[in-house]
A and B are shown apart, each in its own frame.
Chain A
Amino acid sequence: MKKLPIDDDRYGTPPQSVLLEAVCNSVQDLVRRRFTESALPWSQFVFSASDRLITKADFESIEKQLLDSGYRFNWSAVISQRERPEIYCAADGASDDAASFSFDHPDALVGEPDATGRAACGQGENVVRRPANAVGIARYVRSSERVIEFMNQGVPPGSIAIIDDSGGTLTAPILEHFAGIVCAGGTIRSHLGILAREYGIPCLMNARLRGIRDGDRVELETSADAMTAEAYFTGAAKTASIWKLAP
């Protein structure tokens, strides 16, 4: 088997991810094989020949090798898992319809209810400091179906969106109707954080939550200091609390 030009890399080390290493190795093996079979010098192989000799079917077979080993991919876009559930990990908890669903982050700061029934159930990073805390009813929004439901029926006044998508597209048609937003991911600079600021909606990003169910009454400490670039750099804690209130 011929060597690839990158095979004699003085400094190269494998990537940290085992999956990434496996795929890079598989692709390099494929290129090495095709290069050898072509019997061409590299300069004739690199574009004109390899463009023909390395095919989509080759990359399909690399995916198949991984799947045959029993590996299943994590998914990030719902559509990926829905279309090809056989190649992705199960989508447990991906929908909003389970009334019993709640985020359950191990680092959520939780506490017992105080005299008023208010109990800590997590913390997040405040996008913009507001004069007062935001209070409302928690509504999970984690799927297109839920968005369509809200498009058709309207977002109930005083709703606090509980979201795990820090992007600005999933909730695009309904976002402005929420009285508050809690996002279990991203940062204040994520698209959702940017949009919350543009709309003037109280918002906590990168939230660690435990025990909030759809329909719970919640309070967000949006009167806390806003998260800052400096705090991200220094790693300084700058969190805002999230409480569950008595019904």
Chain B
Amino acid sequence: MSRPEISYAQLLETNNLIQNCGEETYWLCLTRTVQGSKLFPVSAYILFSYLNAFYRYPSLLRKIEASMPAEAIADRARNMGMKIQNAAIGWALPNFYLLGRELLITFGMLRPQDALEDVIYVMDFWKRYVLSWHRNDGHLNNREYGQRAQILPDRRLEVFHRDLYSCEPGDALHEAAHSFLATASQYGFLISCESRISLTNSGPYRLDDRHEMIVRDFMDLAECSLPWLDGVAADVPYNYLTVPMSVRDCHFSIVDDWGSFESKPEFTSDKLAGVGLYTSDALSEGFVPVGMGSREELTATFRLLNDKMKEATRKLWLRIAGWTRDQMLDAGALTYYNIIKDLAHVAGVFAVEDWLTIDARAERFRPLFNDELSDQLLGSLVVGHDLPGHRQSPYTMMQHSDRPVRAYTPLPYSVLAGDDYVASCGEPQSGTSHLDPKIDRYRTTQGVLTLEEYNRRARDFTPELCGDQYRFLCETWVKYHYRTPLAQDLYRLEQRQSRTLQGKGAGPR
């Protein structure tokens, strides 16, 4: 088979994206977290996941795109709250892959030009996806936007805003929402084996001079493509929940590419001024209200979900406490590696073998990943930058650190002058897992489905807002065409389940 011709422009662009990711990762890891866990061998499972990502992402992304292009999946992401936002796709997708590549370069197992076409493809997939997902704010990532994420369109923000129920400290809704948010956050950390990837935030969105809205997504809550939730999360009725939250006298100064936020002054529950609750997934017509019929119903719904998640937390914790280290390593590695798995759910091509096993080529490294070496190696990879591959000409001053280092190795341009390279790491190899096999139950907005049925329905489904008629009716078009019948239809479609805006269409602002 003949090779596609690699152009200078392709390499230039790929290297720009690689550099962007490296600098962002350094800043995030340096300033946004100091994590440790006595329960999970976190550094070990993170490194393990990077290798699995390196060996499998290129093939699996090509498989996904054979069903649905990256840009089209991102259009869906802009209209719902699945795990195809931050940190999953906005940050983890390219960086897990690149960190796996860097690890193999460090070990002498890879040259910078090996898997060249894979690297170009993964970075190109990421670029097309995030540009589409960030279509409304016009940026590649939150970093480029000064740590801000204004993803959602006006029509959706208007519904979220107008349908919010106001609340004040001491009232029943405030108390129920506050408890739910804390419990869901706690549950999210446990689901994700001590990582924050079950939670994400977008925004801030300005409501008025005193209020900003942040949209919080809680993901993988029910029986889903994480096998450790089988049984323990059977009573959790929604796999994805979205909570738009209005906050008073508090500016969200950072919403980063991990989907976490920082505010001035520090956000505390007394600043919570309004809430809503929605669900969505690959089979829903965008966001579907949950318990939004009345203030009392929403209060009761938060309480019910709070109780169910507390019980699921208790059961899941006891399950995890009985795991072996290999099980913890696998669960953590799979949680990280399959952070992008919802791309396959949306495209209707999810397979257990693809997303819930460790590839044989990554598995062989398991004996290396003791706690101490993993802590040191991970630290060197993401922040220390003291591995031989990181070192650059002494004249170099890396962004943020000013040191003569670089987070990721660029692709060498010498391949255009005839240097040989290997195009791809090849197809996924058979995988293994120490965890219990996934039970064939997936909670969706269309009920609990088998995987085959979930995939079939996903392949056959296009939300109306993402269909050909509406897909390209962007914010610029709306600005100048809001009086047209088509714009009225677009807004009425979004308002179908709105308590306050149903049928109102796009009025002047």
Interface membership of A101, Cβ < 8 A? no
Partner of B39, one of A17, A58, A88, A167: A167
Interface membership of A39, Cβ < 8 A? no
Contact A176 B370 (CB under 8 A): no
Residues 386-397 of chain B: 1 if any A CB is under 8 Å from the residue's CB, otherwise 0? 111101111000
Q: Give the Cβ gap from B121 to chain A, nearest Cβ, in Å.
A: 16
- Cα of A175 to Cα of B370 in the assembled complex, Å: 29
- Contact residues in A for B320 (Cβ distance below 8 Å): 169
CB neighbors of A among B362-421 (8 A) = 363-368, 370-373, 375-377, 380, 384, 386-389, 391-394, 404, 420-421
Contact A185 B367 (CB under 8 A): no
Contact B111 A5 (CB under 8 A): yes
Residues 47-81 of chain A: 1 if any B CB is under 8 Å from the residue's CB, otherwise 0? 11011001110111011000000000111111110
Interface membership of B509, Cβ < 8 A? no
Interface membership of A119, Cβ < 8 A? no
Contact A148 B190 (CB under 8 A): no
Contact A165 B181 (CB under 8 A): no
- Contact residues in A for B2 (Cβ distance below 8 Å): none
Partner of B373, one of A19, A47, A129, A168: A19
Given the known inter-chain contacts A59-B367, A151-B314, A187-B34, please indicate yes or no for A167 contacting B109, CB distance below 8 A.
no
Contact A17 B185 (CB under 8 A): no
Q: Give the Cβ gap from A5 to chain B, nearest Cβ, in Å.
A: 4
- Contact residues in B for A222 (Cβ distance below 8 Å): none
Contact A170 B37 (CB under 8 A): yes
Interface membership of A87, Cβ < 8 A? yes
- Cα of A12 to Cα of B404 in the assembled complex, Å: 11
Interface residues of B (CB under 8 A from A): 31-44, 105-111, 114-115, 178, 181-183, 185-187, 189-190, 193-194, 196, 254, 260, 262, 266-269, 313-314, 317, 320-321, 323-325, 328, 360-361, 363-368, 370-373, 375-377, 380, 384, 386-389, 391-394, 404, 420-422, 424-426, 429
Q: Which 10 A-B pairs have the closest CB atoms?
A: A12-B388, A167-B37, A168-B189, A11-B391, A198-B182, A28-B108, A73-B372, A77-B41, A56-B364, A165-B38
Contact A74 B372 (CB under 8 A): yes
- Contact residues in A for B187 (Cβ distance below 8 Å): 172
- Contact residues in A for B393 (Cβ distance below 8 Å): 11
Given the known inter-chain contacts A77-B40, A170-B38, please indicate yes or no for A175 contacting B186, CB distance below 8 A.
yes
- Cα of A78 to Cα of B115 in the assembled complex, Å: 38
Contact B194 A11 (CB under 8 A): no
Most A CB contacts (10 A, CB to CB) among B32, B268, B361, B365 go to: B268
Residues 11-27 of chain A: 1 if any B CB is under 8 Å from the residue's CB, otherwise 0? 11111110110011001
Interface membership of A98, Cβ < 8 A? no
Partner of B388, one of A13, A50, A76: A13
Contact B391 A43 (CB under 8 A): no
Partner of A165, one of B36, B43, B363, B368: B36
Given the known inter-chain contacts A46-B110, A165-B39, please indicate yes or no for A63 contacting B367, CB distance below 8 A.
yes
Contact A167 B268 (CB under 8 A): no
Partner of B422, one of A43, A78, A167: A43
- Cα of A107 to Cα of B182 in the assembled complex, Å: 33
Additional pairs, 6, CB under 8 Å, beyond known A23-B377, A47-B426, A54-B109: A15-B387, A142-B38, A151-B314, A190-B34, A190-B35, A195-B186
Partner of A20, one of B189, B324, B376, B420: B376
Contact B268 A200 (CB under 8 A): yes
- Cα of A170 to Cα of B425 in the assembled complex, Å: 38
Interface membership of A32, Cβ < 8 A? yes
Interface membership of A226, Cβ < 8 A? yes
Contact A14 B324 (CB under 8 A): no
Given the known inter-chain contacts A80-B370, A167-B194, A198-B182, please indicate yes or no for A46 contacting B109, CB distance below 8 A.
yes
- Cα of A47 to Cα of B44 in the assembled complex, Å: 23
Given the known inter-chain contacts A12-B389, A77-B371, please indicate yes or no for A186 contacting B34, CB distance below 8 A.
yes
Contact A77 B108 (CB under 8 A): no
* Nearest chain B residue, comparing its CB with the CB of A74: B372
- Contact residues in B for A144 (Cβ distance below 8 Å): 39, 321
- Contact residues in B for A20 (Cβ distance below 8 Å): 373, 376-377, 380, 387
- Cα of A191 to Cα of B33 in the assembled complex, Å: 8
Interface membership of A194, Cβ < 8 A? yes
- Contact residues in B for A233 (Cβ distance below 8 Å): 31
Partner of B35, one of A58, A191, A199: A191
- Contact residues in A for B372 (Cβ distance below 8 Å): 19, 73-76
- Contact residues in A for B404 (Cβ distance below 8 Å): 11
Contact A128 B194 (CB under 8 A): no
Contact A164 B38 (CB under 8 A): yes
